[in-house]
Structure 1
Amino acid sequence: MDATDRRMLTALQRDGRLSVTDLAAEIGLSQTPCARRLSRLEADGVIEGYSARIDQGRVGLPVSIFIWVELERQAKDAIDAFERAVRGFDRVMECHLMTGSRDILMRVVAADLADFDRFLEEKLMRVPGIRSTRSSFALRTMVKRQVLPVG
């Protein structure tokens, strides 16, 4: 990946709806080489896809909850089983395998406390192999970046 690829990625992170024509003009390439580079970045998996950023509060999911999960066992099969289960929960926005005393850190969205309680009772607490959980509610987001510093 060279400097031109990095400029392309920066421009697309700012505005994923750029046409190839506009992207080429912004980074100083003609359309055909720009389109070739774009196709290569997509094929190589550098660009994973395109999507709209949605304000979670405006769609009725204003609450973010961070949940630390400790598993009963840290064996690969137990971690894989947990991962398969939570992949099916649409409220789980992020789920990370962590180092330290807790195994998993998840970010979940909810409409309110009752909605979160339903998620816990009907989804998360039914996943086998969980030893304990600890939840923290985000009061506000202080920094949220969508643009990786690829430049």
Structure 2
Amino acid sequence: MRSGVTSGETREGKLMDRFDRHILNILQKEGRITNLDLADRVGLSPTATGERVKRMTREGLITGFSAKIDPAKVSRGLLVFVEVALERTTADIFDSFESAVCRAPEVMECHMIAGRSDYLLKARVQHMSAYRRFLSEVLLSLPGIRETHTYAVMQEVKSDNLLPI
């Protein structure tokens, strides 16, 4: 292994070095940073930095860029987590449920989980009465649901999507 290379592989099996890791750490926090500023901070030329960002995007390490929006200012101030248990756990029920959840704009995340429930949903709505409508008109109309358990968030203590790299 050459000097400066740390352990870690990309999806295509190529090693990530300290520059790749530094670039990823900066981009997670400052997605709008210019290539010139990014290059200056990591200590590479703008051309080399731009090529690394393009390569990591092509390899799927970087999956996109987005803006963080204050949920309350766009009428999505209530955050809820919902455990969903299905009537049956068959491939057709999983597929139907997942397809329907992907069409619900209130659902921000959906995870198949192990345990007493089959899925854990993260959803944002305006307020509790909006959640009640969402529960009855959207969630409970999804295919194959046996029961749900809702957890309304009283306070967000930590909310970020930064991965340790």
With normalisation by structure 2, the TM-score equals 0.88
Paired amino acid for 1:83:
E
**What SS does the corresponding residue of 1:25 show, helix, strand or coil?**
helix
Matches within 5 A, 1:28-47: 28-47=43-62
Calculate percent identity across the aligned residue pairs: 38
Paired amino acid for 1:24:
A
Which of 94, 98, 101 is matched with 2:116 structurally? 101
Q: Distance in 2 between matches of 1:18 and 1:136?
A: 37
Paired amino acid for 2:143:
P
Unaligned runs of 5+ in 1: none
Moved over 6 A (4+): none
Q: Aligned Cα RMSD in Å?
A: 0.9
Paired amino acid for 2:111:
H
Matches within 5 A, 1:68-83: 68-83=83-98
Q: Distance in 2 between matches of 1:126 and 1:147?
A: 34
**What SS does the corresponding residue of 2:84 show, helix, strand or coil?**
strand
Q: Distance in 1 between matches of 2:36 and 2:55?
A: 17
Q: Distance in 1 between matches of 2:137 and 2:64?
A: 31
Q: Distance in 2 between matches of 1:85 and 1:2?
A: 41
1:15 paired residue number: 30
Q: Once the two structures are superposed, what CA deviation does each residue of 1:83-103 show, in whole Å capped at 9, x if it has no partner?
A: 100000110011110001110
With normalisation by structure 1, the TM-score equals 0.96
- 2:137 matches 1:132: no
Unaligned runs of 5+ in 2: 1-15
1:26 paired residue number: 41
Q: Distance in 1 between matches of 2:89 and 2:21?
A: 38
Shift of 1:145: 1.9
Shift of 1:146: 2.4
Paired amino acid for 1:92:
V
**What SS does the corresponding residue of 2:61 show, helix, strand or coil?**
coil
